[in-house]
Amino acid sequence: MPELPEAEVMRRAVARWALGREVAGVEVGDPAVLRGLGVEALVGQRLEAVERWGKQVVLGFEAHAAVIHLRMTGKVIRVGAGEERSVRVAWRWADGALPVGVIDRRRLGHVTVVRRGEEAGAVGELGPEPWPGVLSGEALAAQLRSARSAVKAALLEPRRVGGVGNIVACEGLWRAGIAPHRPVGSLEPEAWAALGEGLWAACDAVITAEGETEEIRFVSEGAPPEGFAVYAREGERCRRCEGVVTRAQLGGRGTWWCAGCQR
DNA sequence: GCTGTTGTTGAAGC
DNA sequence: AGCTTCAACAACAG
């Protein structure tokens, strides 16, 4: 499932593929994923910017923008490059370059067309993001302070921190040495600062590893899990101490942490 | 055939 | 009111 790092790698790929090109036509494979103004409105417009808002990829055309919410299984691909199953919507380019499309096996994602400048309304309320800048301990504490819940549950709320998903939350907490079930109110200033650094490093590690890849792979598709210290590694020895990686449900989500060095 | 995933939201509960 | 928890969405693996 795409989180901030995967969305960033896809953003870069789409920019390489299509920035500056003009839309010649739109293929709709599944009208149910479409929201907002009709996708036909984009025909004839040049792609001026490819942005990432949290986990969402935003295609900025001259007068409109397409906000792509990938949710669980969504992925932005080039149609014709070998991965085009379940194409929900695709844009053809006037110069004949391979179309760019959105695939989404489980159809939880959607594509919303809005007027340029109104992207925020489609993206939804989004807190500050942990990458590319490091969130300071003060900034993190300010965003999470009002929560009464476990620190990991609060991290997964998009309004508090943008772009953090289950993997980034688990890995960031491990890097910071913080147990996921600790109540938000129990973190001291040093822990908040370490968490900001940990979340940044968890994101940056994936972005660096995936580099300029053309076809991002998710964990569910066998992406190399060596980069993860705790996520989906139940029962394995911690890389940092003698502890063992533990799994539990927290806030309804699978959560992995090292009981030895995450306090 | 039922359960468990998984992100996000909106409704229900406290 | 303000916060937390949970169902729903959809599809598939086990």
Q: Domains (ranges, CATH) in chain A?
A: 4-123 (3.20.190.10), 137-258 (1.10.8.50)
Over 80: is that where the pLDDT of A219 sits?
no
Q: Is the pLDDT of residue A96 over 90?
A: yes
Instruction: Estimate in Å the CA A230 to C1' C2 gap, whole number.
Output: 34
**Strand C interface, A 225-254, C-beta < 7 A:** 251-252
Q: How far apart are CA A23 and CA A96, in angstroms?
A: 10
Report yes or no: A231 and A253 within 8 Å, Cβ to Cβ.
no
**CA pair distance A207, A148, nearest whole angstrom:** 32
Res A249: pLDDT? 86
Q: What are phi and psi of A72, to 5 degrees?
A: -85, -45
Residue-averaged pLDDT of chain A: 90
- The neighbour count for residue A10, using CB atoms within 10 Å, is 26
Question: Tokens at residue A234, please?
Answer: 């139940």
Provide the positions of strand B that have an atom within 7 A of a protein CB: 5-9
Tokens 């994101």 locate to: A203
The mean pLDDT value for A254-258 works out to: 90
Is A225 a residue whose pLDDT tops 70?
no
Q: Average pLDDT, stretch A248-259? A: 87
A66 in helix, strand or coil?
Answer: strand
Residue A243 confidence (pLDDT) above 70 = yes
Nearest nt to the CA of A219 via C1' is B6
Active-site residues of A, by number, are 2-3, 55, 253
Residues A155-176: what's their mean pLDDT? 91
Give A114's pLDDT tier (boundaries 50, 70, 90): very high
Question: Within 13 A of A137's CA, how many CA atoms are on the CB side?
Answer: 9
The answer to whether some atom of strand C lies closer than 7 Å to the beta carbon of A105 is yes
